[in-house]
């Protein structure tokens, strides 16, 4: 369904009433954002591994946060992999602590305002940087669709728009009753989406024996000391 399909569906649900298109697309993409933020949907997860960490003390080296990045799927972790045998996990620290942690290995910080991130400590070899994240989809427009969401679930946004419009714009007893019904339908569709996504997420981890944090013999997993790194 593209934006025009959604507009026609909403018009039908509103018994032929033609909503202002500017308001319609505002409500449509508001509904989209709310549904996407309900959980880290499996179909919105993505991997970027095109960037490389180069050997050296690299905390000032700037890497690019993916343009469609919304949030990490593994909270506070990225993976460094040399493409052969060695892989290690880096743990996120607040961007404002980048200097205090500049000499501590296997931390990274994200400057979301600049769209950049950096890795602290010494990089001992060339690593590919694996970033697993949830994408931030672009707005739905007249000729574009809700990316990666199966067609069978996409009508949920139309019901969301109709419910928001009936309750928030033209409130009366009839609209209130219809809004509640449309809201119930959208929630039933959402529950169906959750069941589907639960199966996808469970299938990925049910029989999984999680590996240790890294395979470097001298590497010891560490926690962030919020009072500052040791040795400083």
Q: Is-contact 90 104, C-beta < 8 A?
A: no
Report how far residue 161's alpha carbon sits from residue 179's, in angstroms, rounded to the nearest whole number.
10
Residues 52 and 127 in one domain: yes
Mean pLDDT of 147-175: 81
Residues 31 and 49 in one domain: no
User: Cβ contacts of residue 209 below 8 Å, gap of 6+?
Assistant: none
User: Cβ contacts of residue 167 below 8 Å, gap of 6+?
Assistant: 175, 176, 179, 183
**pLDDT greater than 50 at residue 209:** yes
In a domain? residue 17: yes
CA distances from 63 to 58, 72, 128, 129, 190 (A): 10, 16, 12, 10, 37
In which band, very low, low, confident or very high, does the pLDDT at 56 lie, cut at 50, 70 and 90?
Answer: confident
Mind listing the pLDDT tens digit for each residue in 83-128? 998 999 999 999 999 999 999 999 999 999 999 999 999 998 999 9
Q: What is the pLDDT of residue 184?
A: 83
Mean pLDDT of 13-26: 88
Mean pLDDT of 199-213: 78
Single residue among 135, 164, 185 that ends a domain in this structure:
135
Residues 100 and 183 in one domain: no
Residues 184 and 166 in one domain: yes
Residues 15 and 71 in one domain: no
Residues 123 and 188 in one domain: no
Task: Name the domain count of the chain.
Answer: 2
Residues 54 and 121 in one domain: yes
In a domain? residue 68: yes
Q: What is the pLDDT of residue 232?
A: 44
In a domain? residue 91: yes
Q: What is the pLDDT of residue 76?
A: 85
Residues 173 and 198 in one domain: yes
Domain that holds residue 109: 42-135
Q: What is the pTM of this model?
A: 0.81
**pLDDT greater than 70 at residue 224:** no
């Amino acid at each position: 369904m593209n934006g025009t399909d959604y507009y026609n569906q909403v018009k039908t649900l509103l018994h032929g009433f033609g909503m202002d298109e500017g308001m319609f697309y505002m409500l449509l993409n508001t509904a989209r954002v709310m549904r996407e933020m309900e959980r880290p949907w499996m179909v919105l997860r993505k991997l970027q591994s095109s960037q490389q960490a180069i050997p050296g003390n690299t905390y000032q080296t700037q890497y690019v946060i993916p343009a469609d990045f919304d949030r990490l799927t593994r909270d506070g972790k990225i993976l460094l992999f040399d493409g052969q045998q060695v892989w290690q996990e880096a743990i996120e620290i607040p961007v404002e602590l980048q200097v205090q942690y500049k000499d501590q290995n296997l931390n990274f910080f994200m400057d979301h305002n600049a769209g950049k991130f950096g890795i602290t400590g010494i990089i001992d070899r060339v690593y590919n940087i694996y970033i697993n994240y949830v994408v931030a989809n672009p707005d739905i427009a007249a000729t574009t669709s809700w990316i990666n969401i199966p067609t069978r679930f996409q009508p949920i946004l139309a019901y969301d728009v109709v419910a928001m419009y009936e309750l928030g714009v033209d409130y009366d007893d009839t609209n209130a009753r219809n809004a509640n019904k449309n809201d119930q339908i959208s929630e039933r569709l959402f529950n169906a989406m959750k069941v589907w996504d639960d199966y996808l997420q469970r299938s990925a981890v049910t029989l999984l024996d999680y590996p240790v944090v890294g395979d470097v013999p001298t590497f010891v997993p560490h926690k962030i000391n919020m009072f500052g790194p040791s040795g400083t």
